[in-house]
Structure 1
Amino acid sequence: MTQTPATGVRVGVQIQPQQADYGQIRDAVLRAEDLGVDIVFNWDHFFPLYGDPDGKHFECWTMLGAWAEQTSRVEIGALVTCNSYRNPDLLADMARTVDHISGGRLILGIGAGWFERDYDEFGYEFGTAGSRIADLAAAMPRIRARWAAANPTPTRDIPVMIGGGGERKTLRVVAEHADVWHSFGDVETLRRKSAILDEHGAAVGRDTASLVTRSLAVDGSDPDEVGDELLAAGVRLFTCSAGGPDYDLTNAAAWVRWRDARA
């Protein structure tokens, strides 16, 4: 993954693909890239998570294909793809294709899934949290095998971001398969779960302290108040979000300024 000079600190922004026309989403992506963020994410749902539950909403991966052509510098990805919605081999090939379209700027963000309405209305089996995490663990080797077998192969080793904080199962999957771990919560929660992740890493033979980048949702947080403490706790990717239709990037701009002051 491309690193910000000197520090490795990176800023992401999640452009929520809801409550907006696509032209407004496209404009927000352009503004985010011009602002200087490192990564632009969307999410993988079929209905809005906030606001009008039946409001406007767009699909994740077709959108990422468009972003791959629209952008030239930022990395792109889903925060995160739901493993349940696509055959793992198909998802791997979709990711490989977007990787090539973007010139090697895709991050495969993936998680076990949680939003029951998506499952019910689109005909997926919701199962249990345990079964969905088990399915995610089983999918990861298939995804990497498909990348290795493809012609052409991906342009790079596509970074895998896994989201979630379940201490017994999810963090074990992160330890085994992720390059980036995305989490939520305050600095104390981050430190505790990060230590548990490293325990899982030791159990599976991976040095997760050095191999797995810590990513944290920082929506609405003032970087001048919390940034340095989070940095000291190991966070290197700071991600905020912006919702439609206006896509206010003020918070993202503050994090970019904070990042640049440490470069």
Structure 2
Amino acid sequence: MSPTRPVRIAVQIQPQHAPYARIREVAAELEDAGVDVLFNWDHFFPLYGDPDGLHFESWTMLAALAEQTSRVEIGALVNCNSYRNAHLQADMARTIDHISAKGGTGRFILGTGSGWFERDYAEYGYEFGTAGSRIADLGEALPAIEERWARLNPPPTRRIPVLVGGGGERKTLRLVARHADIWHSFSDAPTLERKLGILAGHGEAVGRDVSEIEVSVEVGRRGIAEAEELHALGATLFTIGAGGPDYAIPALDEWLSWRDGLNATRAAG
């Protein structure tokens, strides 16, 4: 799969180990720097460091970011489907879409997944179930969300992009083929190549051209050389994680320059 769309750089502002005032500053700094997308995550406790450290809730933070920013797209990487009724999720997404529009179209991305962090479930009273039951619940929620969007008044300002996170080859990728505008994974290049082949098979089964789906990958500790391999396979959205308290991203300028060079070459060609 060759890239057919511009490269974008996202930063996941992990809502942990920092006061909200610092998170607000970081969001402004990243938008000013030229980042394309700001993500957070949908958990109730830190995933790294002190397990009982500072932490903030995803959707309320996204609504605040929608009001604070004016250019970047925003979303969770990813929302946990288990924590909220599907119709409520749709309404919340639509509302944030309108908050973010500011006279134009909205900037909200519904990034979602089936959930996995058992402590969230245990301490907040949700049924953890099994990996299979959680992915089945996500499969029921996605069409319900789409149906609710069609009934809301006012409707969303645009067709809200749906990002599905996860690499399960039999179930998750089937949901990606059916519902997603963006697929996010943590794949290295050989894994991404294999999973894209499987995704194409699911697309054929449901009558979907999967070239319509933007391929998103987590940069993690990878460098630009590895990102080049992923880009050659079709990845165009690259996410850098940033955690509190300082949210330092030493190579951000390098990543943005790499993006700009690729996009200039694409535009010229």
TM-score of the pair, normalised by structure 2:
0.93
Give the partner amino acid of 1:23: A
User: 1:252 and 1:182 mapped to 2: Cα distance?
Assistant: 20
Q: 1:66 aligns with which of 57, 64, 67?
A: 64
Match of 2:93 in 1: 95
Cα distance in 1 for residues equivalent to 2:20 and 2:57: 11
Instruction: Look up the match of 2:247.
Output: 247
Encode CA deviations 1:43-88: one digit per residue, 9 max, x unaligned: 0000000000000000000000100011000000000000000000
Letter of the 1:159 counterpart: P
1:32 is the counterpart of 2:30: yes
Separation in structure 1 between the aligned mates of residue 28 and residue 241 of structure 2, nearest angstrom:
15
Aligned-pair CA distance for 1:7: 5.2
Unaligned runs of 5+ in 2: 264-269
- Secondary structure of the structure 1 residue equivalent to 2:93: helix
Match of 1:173 in 2: 175
Q: Distance in 2 between matches of 1:211 and 1:131?
A: 28
Structure 1 gaps of 5+ residues are: 1-5
Q: Percent same amino acid at aligned positions? A: 64
* Equivalent residue letter for 1:260: D
| Correspondence for 2:216 | 215
What SS does the aligned partner of 2:251 have? Answer: helix
* Match in the other structure for 2:266: none
The answer to whether 1:122 aligns with 2:124 is yes
Aligned-partner Cα distance in 2 for 1:27–1:112: 31
Please give the alpha-carbon distance, in whole angstroms, between the structure 1 residues aligned to 2:109 and 2:137.
20
Shift of 1:31: 1.0
**Is the contact between residue 222 and residue 254 of structure 1 (CA under 8 Å) also seen in structure 2?**
no
Q: Deviations over 1:189-208 (max 9, x none)?
A: 11111111111111111011
Which stretch shifts more, 243-252 or 151-160?
243-252
Query: How many angstroms apart in 2 are the aligned matches of 1:36 and 1:211?
Result: 25
Match of residue 110 from structure 1 = 112
For residue 73 of structure 1, give the secondary structure of its aligned residue in structure 2: coil
Q: What amino acid maps onto 2:229 in structure 1? A: E
Give CA deviations for 1:145-171 in whole Å, capped at 9, x if unaligned: 111000000000000000000111111
Structure 1 equivalent of residue 48 of structure 2: 50
Query: What SS does the corresponding residue of 1:132 show, helix, strand or coil?
Result: helix
Give the partner amino acid of 1:237: L
Who is 1:3 aligned against?
A: none
* 8 A Cα contact 1:88 1:139, kept in partner: yes
TM-score calculated relative to the size of structure 1: 0.95
Matched residue type, 2:57 = E
1:79-119 deviations in whole A, cap 9, x for unaligned? 00000000000010000000000000000000000000000
Taking only aligned residues, the RMSD between alpha carbons, in angstroms, comes to 1.0
Q: What amino acid sits opposite 1:100 in the alignment?
A: H
1:26, 1:167 → 2: CA distance?
37
8 Å CA contact 2:219, 2:227 repeated in 1: no
